[in-house]
Amino acid sequence: MQNTLLFARKGLGRLYEAAIAKIFNELQLARRDANYATVAGRKTLSKKAQVILDEFRKDAVELFKECAYSEKDLTERRIVGEAETLGVHIKSESFDGNESLVEESIEAFDESILLQTRRMMMTLRKVIRKDIFTVMRYVYEGDVTRKKASELALPAMLDNIPSYFFTDRSGKRWKTDFYFDTLILSLLNYLELDIVINIIVRSGYDLIKVTKKGKDPVILSISNDEKHLPLEEAHTIFHPRSSAIPHFWREQYAI
């Protein structure tokens, strides 16, 4: 998990920084263009920025897809090994449905990135509106042409640098690297748990052993039997930045 997370975080960070740099470059070039303060000029810049954000989203999803499928393969191999140590042979059909779980995780990631790219575009549009306001103030107060006003306003516009934040559904702002960490770790944690549950259920077993550094192991029952904690407890154990690991466990014969 840690290697997968590190790979995803670094890769997404590079993609994000590259996209931000491209948008900023297009913005600074547009500001020096005589048509920037016109409707056509603003539309041209917005279209270029949207292309950059769409490319970032596409590349980010491809990167996460690679990580998600890697996590699936690692989890499957781990569970097979754990089951064998307990005298259980996992059949290939027990893996059915795991790919669907991966695709659901990828879709959730894509939705989160799409939401952020939309907010990034909104931030850029706010910057553009502020630039236009600056230009028009020179037009009306200085009684000059829009072209001349754009020249006069250029220093102020160049200092108007967009500040991008990632915002969750509650409206809380996050630093970019921490947001990526939390998003990826949360999705991969739940993907790992869902795959383990799927394999155990399809194998005809019921129990999940959860280990966490510095804590006693916890046994969860998928069927919610009376001797173990119910599966619903997994949501409190596997929080977004949890280090908990789900394992195959056997205390009884197959059901």
Could you tell me how many residues make up the chain?
255
- Rounded to whole angstroms, the Cα distance separating 234 from 242 reads 11
pLDDT mean over 202-209: 92
| Residue owning tokens 């005298």 | 87
Nearest to 139 by CA among 35, 27, 31, 37: 37
Domain ranges for the chain, please list them: 2-203
Nearest to 86 by CA among 201, 255, 254: 254
DSSP 3-state of 254: coil
How confident is the model over 163-189, as pLDDT tens digits?
776 666 677 777 776 777 788 888 998
- Rounded to whole angstroms, the Cα distance separating 188 from 208 reads 17
Q: Where are the beta strands (DSSP E) in the chain?
A: 166-167, 173-174, 207-211, 218-221, 229-230, 245-249
How confident is the model over 106-128, as pLDDT tens digits?
999 999 999 889 988 999 999 99
Instruction: Give the number of other CB atoms < 10 A from CB of residue 107.
Output: 11
Q: What is the pLDDT of residue 3?
A: 58
Helix and strand numbers (H, E) in the chain are 6, 6
